[in-house]
A and B are shown apart, each in its own frame.
Chain A
């Protein structure tokens, strides 16, 4: 079955739903919530269509659609969407998490419900659009559109220092993205000034019709890379993240950690690697060093956090460092590991924020020291938290394991030092997560926690799909990996094509599934 404009439907359904919400005066909060949930669920159903009809044997874009948007004499900006193995699961992650986020805020957000729901839905449209956009300008527009609802989410429904966090968030990300705009413009004019299409630009680079001087390529890589590195975030550009995560309301934190950070890593994979492979190769050592520093630094800082949300926020810095390390190994397991880890981190960190939000709803504190013995009062919550914790520290059989092991395999094949340090970071991850779990759920009983009660049906319904999905990815990842293979191979081919013959090329000794690496050229 071929559904025309399936990607547009998926992308814009939430936004249409948001407009509907704003246009319904006098509807009760309850009704508004239901409409929003229905809209996001519909988007999820539409995105499922993508998975079922996805052809895993091609690295090309699928479900492509392209209509003219802004037509000028010299060029046109097209509304060009498409997904491949790299973006498919990012789209799904977004559509999967959004309904859960809406459900999680069912009780906790009672002020200004209508704009809150509208913000979440607009955010969803922006995020899906970012992952589908194949026109550089369209990508940029949607990339920026994501910022605004997030800004309001943090600034209006956030915690104590929400204004500071919101402004910091917007300034950091805007700096990166506006420099990217200059990069896009330069790229556009360098390529002949007639197209913003990513597919077309990559094709021109591949055919040699378009080429970079090494200086140009380096600057362009940096212009794009900075925007993405801030979003990921890569140390030392990460300082907006703890503030934003901590001050955002639960829903905002989940979306930030679950999806927004992935936009950065996705951008690296989708734009930086195929467009500027030479610069990517040249800068890979530096970026890997930063990534490793991020892994270790994030973990070490997470260890000493007294605040649950802050701890999870710094663990994100650590885990996302791992993703970047995986990408810049330029190996199949490294890249696929990074993709699985992106999904896995979205699920586990998203779930962690949801669970912390549930704790907060009951106790109105996030300080680890205020808890203790919570497992007695809320056994189901404790059990769910345990599963998510274990997934976050990469216990085999859960999603975290698959991604992290693949990344480690990839990075060991490139550099034993980086691989070892990354592994150390994972061990540290286990330390701070388990210690936190122990202090919150076991330990001496804090009498204040006695009456906090266990999670209710709504919260169980909310957590169950995440837990199941974690288990599925952990136990049987091939359905996911298979759909990534062809696209990842395409990106790697692009990168390897830039390697100078006889240069610092090394054969990949290990490949996750025993197939030979991309030893072309």
Chain B
């Protein structure tokens, strides 16, 4: 690696250095100023963002012997992951103090997870993709179980770890098969070799299938989703917020790179498979969300369904489709973080108040939090003038344009289905009276308020004026192909 190439990876160095520093701060730091942990994390993220910003406008290039690609796509996802990590850290600080889990390792793991996600998105080599996903996975396994004294948290961690290891193994096996069929793990080489051989080698299709299973598990696609509701429900709420957006986006990024850069030759095959997966994911995610009475669990299933919408853009695999998928990822990230932000702000000591009944009459008890939640739910349901609508509009538009009218119709009907459960929370918040004996809402800290307010404004802004973000997503998806 030349010095130049190291420079391009500075954002990652900063994250990892900060992670190491945080681990050291834990034993040596004064216990009183624990908020510093969160501050250091945010500062590291900000520094990394600044370093990243310097790369804006560079010619796309491959570095590290063709393992890492620096292009708009990489920049886009690194940005997204930094935002996710930074916001998650802010959301975590007060929550962790309340729950007594404000430890240096927590923030260190957030940063390593962020770094892993970035690697997965930048990687141009199956091995590095695997390593990125593994760094991410190991971090999140631990984060999910960070409330050591909480049974649900323990269960979440163990379940995630066991199932995740299987998925990892399958992913690795898929990589091996693809390597066997093409003789390389590098995307460009795979692309060239598979395209060179006029006839598709027999090993390649099973390899593709196993890759899809492994990455599909990380994204939480049906039928590889069974861990999602339990883990999301059991993990500490800020970790849930992080997992609902981070690993999902990383999985989508890796999937896009693999499919569009390495295996475009198999497009007819993976389009068909992903079409089915998208339909299953949307439909089962929404159908299961319908019957949930725990808000966290409901949002877990909603997150599954939302991934199905994003997958529509991958199935379409046109410029518009990829652009729309990236754009939707941004919106989805904001919506999810705000929704989980409200949940963790209201969940009370022990992270317990997450039942629908706890939201009864919220419109009066906590009007601002309810308004933030309400707008976010409208956005998740895809009501116009919110970013959620614009995202769906461009996704479904790309599908219709590419001739996937049937898929668009299914996605649209799924949106109707989702309206039912998103609006049920509205019903509880605004149309039911609080039952007697409900405790007061804890005061929400300023940083969390700031995040909620910015998030809501962003949701509305993206709904009214999406031009710039869409242009950004379009520029980033140029890196594909």
Report which A residues bind B (CB closer than 8 A): 70-73, 137, 140-142, 144-145, 147-148, 151-152, 155-156, 162-163, 166-167, 170-171, 174-175, 178-179, 181-182, 185-186, 188-189, 193
Contacts and interface: CB of A to CB of B under 8 A. Distances in A.
Interface in B360-413: 378, 382-385, 389, 393, 396-397, 400-401, 405, 408-409, 412-413
Contact of B401 (A140, A142, A170, A189): A189
Contact of A152 (B409, B430, B470): B430
A86 to B, nearest CB: 23
B465 interface: yes
A169 B382 CA distance: 17
Contacts of A175: 413, 416
B423 interface: yes
Contacts of B409: 179, 182
B216 interface: no
23 contacts: A70-B466, A140-B384, A141-B384, A141-B385, A145-B384, A145-B385, A148-B383, A155-B426, A155-B427, A162-B431, A166-B431, A167-B420, A167-B423, A170-B419, A171-B419, A174-B419, A178-B416, A181-B393, A181-B412, A185-B396, A186-B400, A189-B397, A189-B401
Contacts of B397: 185, 188-189
Given A145-B385, A186-B400, A189-B397, 12 more contacts: A73-B471, A142-B384, A155-B426, A162-B431, A167-B424, A170-B419, A178-B382, A182-B405, A185-B401, A185-B408, A188-B397, A189-B401
Nearest to A190: B400
B12 interface: no
A146 to B, nearest CB: 10
B385 A151 contact: no
B467 interface: yes
A166 B430 CA distance: 12
Contacts of B474: 73
Contact of B416 (A140, A152, A166, A171): A171
Contacts of B465: 70
A140 B392 CA distance: 14
A144 B405 contact: no
Contacts of B400: 182, 185-186, 189
Interface of B: 378, 382-385, 389, 393, 396-397, 400-401, 405, 408-409, 412-413, 415-416, 419-420, 423-424, 426-427, 430-432, 465-467, 470-471, 474
A520 B470 CA distance: 47
Contacts of A155: 426-427, 430-431
Given A71-B467, A178-B413, A156 B431 contact: yes
B364 to A, nearest CB: 8
Contacts, number: 82
Contacts of B405: 182, 186
Given A167-B420, A170-B423, A193-B401, A144 B383 contact: yes
B412 A182 contact: yes
Contact of B431 (A163, A171, A179, A182): A163
Q: Which of A137, A142, A155, A185 has the most CB of B within 10 A?
A: A185
Given A167-B420, A167-B427, A182 B396 contact: yes
A130 B240 CA distance: 40
Contacts of A148: 378, 383
B225 to A, nearest CB: 24
Nearest to B408: A182
Given A186-B400, A189-B400, A179 B412 contact: yes
Nearest to A137: B393
A178 B385 contact: no
Nearest to A151: B423
A144 B397 CA distance: 18
A419 to B, nearest CB: 38
A178 B384 CA distance: 11
Contacts of A144: 383-384, 389
A487 to B, nearest CB: 27
Contacts of B420: 167, 171
Contacts of B382: 178
